[in-house]
Structures are given as C-alpha cells and as structure tokens.
Structure 1
Amino acid sequence: MRMIELAFSGQLWLDMFASLRRVLIGFLFGSLIAVPVGFLMGWYRIARAVIDPWIQFFRVIPPLAIIPLAIVTLGIDEKPKIFVIFLAAFLSSVVATYQGVISVDRTFINAARVLGANDRVIFARVIIPASTPFILVGFRIGLGSAWATVVAAELIAAQSGLGFRMQQAQLYYDLPTIFVSLIAIGILGLIMDRIVVRAEQRLTHWQERVYHD
C-alpha cells in the first residue's frame, strides 16, 4: 500500500510537517492580527471607515491570485507561502470578528451602562464574550482557506509539502501518491477543525444551542 510505503520511508511525515508548519504559522499570525483589527472596526466608526474599504478590496481578490505576486516580491522560499496563508486566514477571521461585534444586542450594552459599566468593562464583559462564537467560526473558515492556499502555493513553488508531492506524482501519473496526499490533507484539516470545535464548546458553553434529531 502506497501510504505505508511513504510512511516507512519518512517522506509522508516530512511532507505533512512542511505543510502543517506553513499552515500553523500563517493561520496563527493571520488570526491573532485579525481579532484586534475586527474589534477596532466593530467598536470604532473611524477605524471601520478607514480599514473596511481595504478589507473589502482584498476580499474580492482570491489569495490564490496573489501567489505569483508574492513569489516575485518575496522570493521562492517560505515567505510567499506563509504570506498568502496569512492573508487567507486574516480576511476570514477579521470579517467574522467584525460581524460578531456589530451583532451584539444593544440591550446588553445599554443594561451594562445603566449598571455603571464603562467602555472598558463593557468591552471585556459583554462584547468579547458575545463575539467569541463568531470569532471561532471565522477560525474554522480560515483554517479551510489556509489549507486550500498552502496546497496551491506548494503546487507553484515548493521543494516539500503535500501539494508539492501531488505535483510530482502528477508528472508520473502516480495516482496512489496523489490520493495519499489528499487523505493526509483531509486528516490534518479535520484534526485542526475538531480542536477549534472543542475550544468553541468550552468557550461558548453558556450559549443556547438548538439540535435537531
């Protein structure tokens, strides 16, 4: 079986590690920057007026379309790959965070003000908890975008990674290797998604949920 052969040779683990490393770095940086930017956009109108047009501008440009530009400007090493992953994760998370802030029920904010809470307390005790479900949904979408982007980036310019392995297998019509790479991507993506879902369950346990049989 091809998966067993690649696993015992160590090639599968090296490719998985290379792709996972790129995804984690780009996703973490993109998400960490997106959350405060999203809060600023949702909380301050001036910030929204300045930042939102740029966000919308880059949203309509697929991150995959930026790969050639990133390679030309940043070279062919890890920087362009991580940058496009960062951009994909950032755009997903910043929009979700912004939507979470503006979706907070004004009744909660007004009630907090009546009780004497200042802006800092309202932000920490009302806005952040109420926005958390939106932020985590943005993380899940960002993860999917990150994996799609890293595979495309590795197809264009890489010396390792699951996308690179699929490209090499394509040249030799090596379907088993292509399927193994696809399965590895699916497993890694699923594991990361389940981690975010578990975090969502822990952080939003107070939220009412509706389940259908």
Structure 2
Amino acid sequence: MSAGIGLWWLVSVLGVLGLPGPVEVVQRGAELIADGILGGDVAASLSRVLTGFLLGSAVAIPVGFLMGWYPVCRALFEPYVQFFRTIPPLALIPLAIVILGIEETPKIFVIFMASFLSCVIATFQGVIGVEKTLINAARVLGAPSFVVFARVVIPASSPFILVGMRIGLGASWATVVAAELIAAQQGLGFRMQQAQIFYDLPTIFVGVISIGILGLLMDRILLFIESKLTGWQERR
C-alpha cells in the first residue's frame, strides 16, 4: 500500500498526465465529506448496488439450481441465460430507460442483470460439477432426492455460488457508474461524470478510491461468509 501511494506521489510530482497527488485528493475528499456530498453519494450508490446485487443473487441461485438439477429447466433457461450473458448490461441502458423510465428502477435493473448473469452461471456450474459418487452414495444409503439436494448438492456447490457472488459484486460496482447516467442526482458515478465535465481530477480520484474501498470491504465480507460456509473444503 505504501509503495503504491509513494509511486502515485512520484508520478504526480513529475507531472505525468497532470494527475493530482495524494495530498490534493485527500483534501478534496475532506471537503466533500465536510459538505455532506460524499456521504450522500456513497449512500446513493451503495443502496443501488446492494439492491441490484442482492436481488440478482437471490434470483440467480434458485435458477442456477433448477438448471443444474433438472434437465428440463436447463433446456428451458440455459439458451436465454447464455443469450443475455453475451450482451453487456450497459447495452441494456437505453432499453431500460424506454421501458422503466428514468427513476431508480432502470438503474437497479442493469445492476441486477450484471450480478444475476455472473451468479447464475457459477451456481449452475457448481451443481453440475458435484461428484456423482457423492450423490450415488447418498442414494444408496436411502436418502430421498430432497435430502440429497439439501445435504449434498447445496454444500458441494456453495464455493461456486460464493465465487459467482463475488464476481457479480464486482460487476455491480462496475455497472453502477454507467447506471447513474440515467438522470441521477446523487451517486459516486454521477459525481465523477460531473467532475469530468469540469476536468476536476481530484473529485474523480475521490470517487474511484471510494468505489474501490467499498467494493473491497464488501468482497471481504463475502470472503468471511465463504470461510464459514466452506470450512469443510480442503484448501492449499
């Protein structure tokens, strides 16, 4: 961390690309905090990301389980999932505006799509990747299908699900900046876009660093949850 900040300071001192230095960015961040601007932007972006991410994950996990466990559901859902997976969520913004308007719904929708598509594929791969030996052993011991699913398939696929959620979380933060193009009045993405108009590099840096810190903290929370749910998994 210190080396990175030192390199950043050196680059700013040398005047490369006209980048602001760490001190200037910290001062600008303090100003935005004192004015209550940064807190409002963080709250707005965090609310959108959490809503879209949690909704996307909540829908993706059962859909992924259905696709992986039932061949009929796989045949029904997989073509649509693969079709939309090739379309960047940002490409859906014009469609979202036309159909859903310019309030919060289209912003959350594109974040939802970003997290859903990442998580559903990971869940699906986790289910179909469960060792058949484990499933057959449970059935030989007399376990009915719902017990096999609950006691074998779900625990065995949980590492894949959590990896998919981590990827979906990153995609959600990557999408929120563009999503806040949709008539937003608050948000880190909105603030950065406004700063771009006036070539306000310190404010842009504050936004970038804020997103990085929030994303890192949320990722660490998911890692903690993963460690609790997959403690049985052998690790290198």
Q: TM-score range by the shorter chain?
A: over 0.9
Q: CA deviation at 1:59?
A: 0.3
Residue equivalent to 1:12: 38
Q: Output the CA distance in 1 between the equivalents of 2:191 and 2:100.
A: 23
Paired position in structure 2 for 1:76? 102
Match of 1:116 in 2: 142
Aligned with 1:93 (options 116, 119, 127): 119
Cα displacement (A) at 1:153: 1.1
- Cα distance, 1:156 vs. partner? 4.4
Deviations 1:43-98 (A, max 9, x none): 00000000000000000000010011101111111000000011111111110000
The normalised TM-score by structure 1 is: 0.97
Structure 1 counterpart of 2:152, from 126, 141, 165: 126
Cα deviations by residue, 1:98-135 (Å, 9 ceiling, x for unpaired): 00000000000010011001101100000000010000
Q: Which moved more, 1:103-112 or 1:154-163?
A: 154-163
In 1, the alpha carbon distance for the partners of 2:183 and 2:76 equals 35
**Pairwise CA distance, 1:157:** 3.0
Identity of counterpart residues, as a percentage? 70
Partner Cα separation in structure 2 for residue 172 and residue 114 of structure 1: 69
Structure 2: unaligned runs, 5 residues or longer? 1-26
Report deviation, 1:41: 0.3
TM superposition shift of 1:158: 1.2
Match of 2:85 in 1: 59
Q: Distance in 2 between matches of 1:113 and 1:156?
A: 52
Instruction: Indicate the structure (1 or 2) with the bigger Cα radius of gyration.
Output: 2
* Aligned match of 1:47: 73
- Aligned-pair CA distance for 1:159: 1.1
Aligned equivalent of 2:180: 154
Q: Which residue of 2 aligns with 1:175?
A: 201
Distance 1:157 1:52 in 2: 34
- Counterpart for residue 209 of structure 1: 235
Partner of 1:155, secondary structure, is coil
CA distance in 1, matches of 2:34, 2:98: 36
2:48 corresponds in structure 1 to 22
Per-residue deviation, 1:137: 0.2
* Other-structure match for 2:61: 35
> What stretches of structure 1 move > 2 A for 4+ residues in a row?
none
- Give the counterpart letter for 1:103 in structure 2: G
Identify unmatched segments of 5+ residues in structure 1: none
Q: The residue matched to 1:61 in structure 2 has which SS?
A: coil
